[in-house]
Structure 1
């Protein structure tokens, strides 16, 4: 299993166990969104999602519960080989990616960033 994640041309060290999180603001609703991911042999697996409200395109999962002001749920989706993050420029910032440390990605509008496990 990979201990790092490629974010474009940059390698980001992952938390112990191969986990990382993504957080951003929705471009229209300006509501915070948080996801937790795991690098698995089958790819990147979304293990937990949370939003601080809901609106256009931000519906929580059917099993969502309120925890400290966040609607939290565990998506039941298969792993994906990669994630493509597209920055609209309308969010006031980019994506916050946290593994062993945190980095900001995609602050420039129109630039997509692909996340995928580092090769073994």
Structure 2
């Protein structure tokens, strides 16, 4: 089964059995929520729709975005991302991973962001032994 792997430089720190997910975070200065929807494929992570609540310092609403229910919705045409590289530091806060109608902080899988690990990669992978919290309602395989 294909799913989502999290780690760095090919080292798997955690796996999540999902075919699609939303990555969400708050801008470090403006505190505006951003969300990006991804589909997990053998070729990589395909970005679908993205949403942002507003603009601000270094945050421009993309051309062609449409305002719906308080958020700007838009799509970017990108090739499959394999991997998707994220900055992850204590000062910036943490990302949320949403799937199966629930959101969880990446800390649930990886522990809190650490200055000694300022980056994280997400990629599609064949799932091995589960390393996700089965008692939190996220599934058990």
Shorter-chain TM-score above 0.5: yes
Q: Could you report, residue by residue, the CA deviation over 1:22-47 in whole angstroms, capped at 9, with x for unpaired residues?
A: 01001121111000011123211111
Secondary structure of 2:23's counterpart equals: strand
Q: Which has the higher helix share?
A: 2
> Unpaired runs of 5+ in structure 2?
8-12, 128-141
Q: Could you report, residue by residue, the CA deviation over 1:74-94 in whole angstroms, capped at 9, with x for unpaired residues?
A: 111111111122123334x31
* Cα distance, 1:97–1:20 mapped onto 2, change above 3 Å: same
* Matched residue count: 115
Larger radius of gyration: 2
TM-score normalised to structure 2 length: 0.72
TM-score normalised to structure 1 length: 0.83
Q: Which residue of 1 is the match for residue 95 of structure 2?
A: 95
Superposed CA RMSD in Å reads 1.9
Give me the whole-angstrom Cα distance separating, in 2, the residues matched to 1:109 and 1:27. Answer: 16
Structure 1 outlier segments of 4+, above 4 Å: none
Q: Which residue of 2 is the match for residue 59 of structure 1?
A: 60
